[in-house]
């Protein structure tokens, strides 16, 4: 070894006896000890003493290294032919990794074989290795370490061949719960000096799997990134995002932008975005286009056969903002549910107020409604359908009481392209409005703005007169007669009202 001197060298000599000796002493600064690599920033302080007695040279070696002159200790002896035999204890560095607790013997002519521990993932792992020179060495995992709070065996080797470092340690955790509600299947962690501790596995969500790639510092600090796509609602979607644990607190989600997706026939959710967050499972938000406007939805998803979307807001129907309630659910493959909007008493057009109107939406049927129209002092049930504010229809659905008899109503009142048309018709059986006033062929009709009117025949003197009727209720009506009447062989014009 050729050592650069950092202090003066002294050569004291005494020859007081037949055995004379000389010692060669000094302090030398080295970047390594016998070629053993030191952790970055360390220096070695080495003392070599020589003795000469009876033609025999003795060499004593004592060296310490570290950030402050301690940490790795080598002590032993050598001879002038280059042979040495030393003991080594403390810490050393390979590929930037500190190997602690080294304690071994090393003699010239053989590789340095050692055992110690390294720190990975906030825990320690036993390793064993062999060192020939700075370009040729290896150290292998030789035990277990703790990851995510559980003990796991590590296998593999880190190898330097001609200065090229390769290899890694592998730790298989299988299906492992890294946090409540977050089980990663086939989780395999891998460690290398350059890459640190990383992992890969699959998160089961939505009845399928999402590949994850992770990085791990310790049990309180790790992250897993979404790495691929999965199938939701029968469509393939790419997932993005990261779930992170930092200083013990978990945050972050995985997001899947579905766009406009048909979840069932007749139900397309626009701008649907699904999210998975730890402890919350798979949820989503989007908008359902109904009635020419949009209704916000919030959803939850277990798998393609089990999901739900809840109404989450209001929409505009007949020009009025109304809150929607309800859920549409798929359970074990069977769909059910609806969204309901209680409109109350609403004027759909001037002169036509539908009382207690409730609109309902279901896939395949669209937006329908039920309510009651007050006419003739009583109510007529209506059933409606609604496309948008310019296109809707209400159909008579039931009977009402007119002139003391129950009359079935028919007909539809429609708004199409913004134009209204139609009426409700109620044909009456022959009746007497008052004693002595017999009416037949009477048909009542209702339209907005005109109210309830009718046309029929009045029997008078063996002939019939055409009559028109206006009707408010059973106590408020009038008949107007017009036509010709034959009496005593003479025809008379008749005009009047009752």
- C-alpha to C-alpha distance for 185 and 58, rounded to whole angstroms: 63
At residue 120, does pLDDT exceed 70?
Answer: yes
pLDDT category of residue 28 using cuts at 50, 70 and 90:
very low
At residue 14, does pLDDT exceed 60?
Answer: no
Q: Which two tokens stand for residue 212?
A: 């994850």
Residue 11 confidence (pLDDT): 52
Q: What share of the chain in percent tops pLDDT 70?
A: 88
- C-alpha to C-alpha distance for 254 and 144, rounded to whole angstroms: 32
Over range 231-245, report the average pLDDT: 95
At residue 8, does pLDDT exceed 60?
Answer: no
Closest listed residue to residue 178, CA positions, set 284, 252, 283: 252
Q: Which two tokens stand for residue 134?
A: 């700075």
- C-alpha to C-alpha distance for 274 and 276, rounded to whole angstroms: 7
Q: Give the bridge partners for 468, in sequence order.
A: 455, 480
At residue 391, does pLDDT exceed 70?
Answer: yes
Residue 381 confidence (pLDDT): 96
At residue 138, does pLDDT exceed 90?
Answer: yes
The number of C-alpha atoms within 13 Å of 179 and in the hemisphere containing its C-beta is 22
Q: Are 315 and 295 in contact (CB under 8 A)?
A: yes
Over range 147-153, report the average pLDDT: 95
Cβ count within 10 A of residue 207? 16
At residue 182, does pLDDT exceed 60?
Answer: yes
- Name the residue with tokens 């009447």: 485
- C-alpha to C-alpha distance for 241 and 265, rounded to whole angstroms: 31
Please state the separation of Cα 354 from the chain's center in Å: 43
Instruction: Write the pLDDT tens digit of every residue in 32-67.
Output: 456 666 666 666 677 777 676 666 777 777 877 766
Q: Are 286 and 310 in contact (CB under 8 A)?
A: no
Residue 1 confidence (pLDDT): 44
What secondary structure does DSSP assign to 267-285, as a single string? EEEEEEEEEEETTTEEEEE
Instruction: Write the pLDDT tens digit of every residue in 212-229.
Output: 999 999 999 999 999 999
pTM of the full predicted structure? 0.77
Instruction: Write the pLDDT tens digit of every residue in 318-366.
Output: 999 999 999 999 999 999 999 999 999 999 998 899 999 999 999 989 9
DSSP 404: T
Please state the separation of Cα 310 from the chain's center in Å: 17
Over range 221-247, report the average pLDDT: 95
Q: What is the mean pLDDT of the chain?
A: 87
At residue 27, does pLDDT exceed 50?
Answer: no
Going by C-beta distance under 8 Å and a sequence separation of 6 or more, which residues neighbour residue 283?
A: 274, 275, 276, 277, 298, 299, 300, 301
Q: For the chain, what is the total number of helices (H) and then of strands (E)?
A: 0, 46
pLDDT category of residue 386 using cuts at 50, 70 and 90:
very high
Instruction: Write the pLDDT tens digit of every residue in 435-469.
Output: 878 899 999 999 998 899 999 998 876 778 899 99
Over range 118-142, report the average pLDDT: 92
Provide the b/e sequence for 219-252 (b: ≥16 CB within 10 Å). beebbbbbeeebebbebebebebbbbbeeeebeb
* End-to-end CA, the chain: 137
Residue 70 confidence (pLDDT): 55
Kindly report which listed range (164-168, 357-361, 475-479) carries the lowest average pLDDT score: 475-479
Residue 43 confidence (pLDDT): 67
Rounded to whole angstroms, what are the CA distances from 59 to 13, 43, 76, 247, 348? 16, 22, 9, 53, 111
Residue 61 confidence (pLDDT): 79
Residue 2 confidence (pLDDT): 47
Residue 5 confidence (pLDDT): 52
- C-alpha to C-alpha distance for 446 and 452, rounded to whole angstroms: 4
pLDDT category of residue 72 using cuts at 50, 70 and 90:
confident
């Amino acid at each position: 070894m050729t050592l650069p001197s950092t202090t003066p060298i002294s050569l004291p000599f005494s020859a007081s006896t037949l055995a004379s000796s000389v010692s060669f002493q000094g302090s030398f600064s080295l970047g390594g000890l016998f070629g053993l690599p030191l952790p970055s920033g360390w220096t070695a302080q080495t003392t070599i003493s020589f003795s000469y007695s009876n033609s025999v040279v003795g060499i004593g070696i004592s060296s310490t290294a570290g950030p402050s002159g301690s940490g790795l200790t080598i002590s032993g002896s050598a001879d002038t032919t280059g042979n040495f035999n030393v003991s080594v204890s403390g810490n050393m560095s390979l590929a930037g990794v500190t190997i602690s607790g080294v304690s071994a013997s090393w003699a010239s002519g053989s590789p340095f074989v050692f055992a110690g521990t390294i720190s990975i993932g906030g825990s320690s792992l036993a390793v064993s290795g062999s060192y020939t020179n700075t370009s040729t060495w290896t150290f292998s995992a030789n035990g277990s370490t703790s990851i995510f709070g559980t003990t796991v065996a590590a296998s593999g080797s880190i190898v330097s061949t001609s200065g090229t470092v390769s290899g890694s340690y592998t730790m298989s955790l299988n299906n492992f719960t890294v946090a409540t509600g977050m089980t990663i299947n086939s989780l395999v962690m891998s460690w290398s000096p350059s890459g640190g501790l990383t992992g890969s596995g699959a998160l089961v969500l939505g009845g399928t799997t999402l590949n994850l790639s992770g990085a791990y510092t310790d049990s309180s600090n790790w992250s897993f990134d979404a790495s691929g796509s999965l199938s939701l609602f029968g469509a393939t979607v790419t997932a993005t995002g990261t779930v992170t644990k930092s200083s013990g607190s978990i945050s972050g989600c995985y997001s899947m932008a579905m766009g406009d997706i048909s979840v069932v026939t007749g139900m397309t959710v626009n701008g649907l975005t699904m999210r998975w967050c730890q402890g919350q499972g798979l949820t989503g938000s989007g908008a359902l286009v109904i009635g020419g406007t949009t209704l916000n939805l919030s959803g939850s998803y277990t798998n393609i056969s089990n999901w739900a979307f809840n109404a989450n807001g209001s929409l505009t129907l007949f020009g009025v903002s109304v809150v929607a309630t309800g859920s549409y659910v798929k359970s074990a493959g069977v769909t059910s549910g609806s969204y309901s909007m209680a409109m109350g008493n609403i004027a759909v057009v001037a002169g036509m107020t539908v009382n207690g109107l409730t609109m309902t939406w279901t896939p395949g049927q669209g937006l329908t409604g039920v309510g009651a129209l007050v006419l003739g002092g009583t109510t007529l049930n209506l059933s409606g359908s609604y496309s948008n504010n310019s296109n809707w229809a209400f159909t008579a659905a039931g009977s009402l009481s007119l002139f003391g008899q129950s009359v079935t109503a028919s007909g539809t009142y429609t708004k199409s392209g913004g134009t209204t048309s139609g009426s409700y018709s109620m044909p009456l059986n022959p009746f007497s409005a008052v004693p002595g006033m017999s009416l037949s062929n009477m048909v009542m009709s209702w339209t907005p703005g005109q109210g309830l009117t009718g046309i029929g025949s009045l029997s008078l003197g063996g002939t019939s007169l055409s009559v028109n009727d206006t009707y408010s209720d059973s106590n408020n009506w009038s008949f107007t007669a017009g036509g010709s009447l034959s009496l005593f062989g003479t025809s008379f014009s008749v005009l009047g009202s009752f």
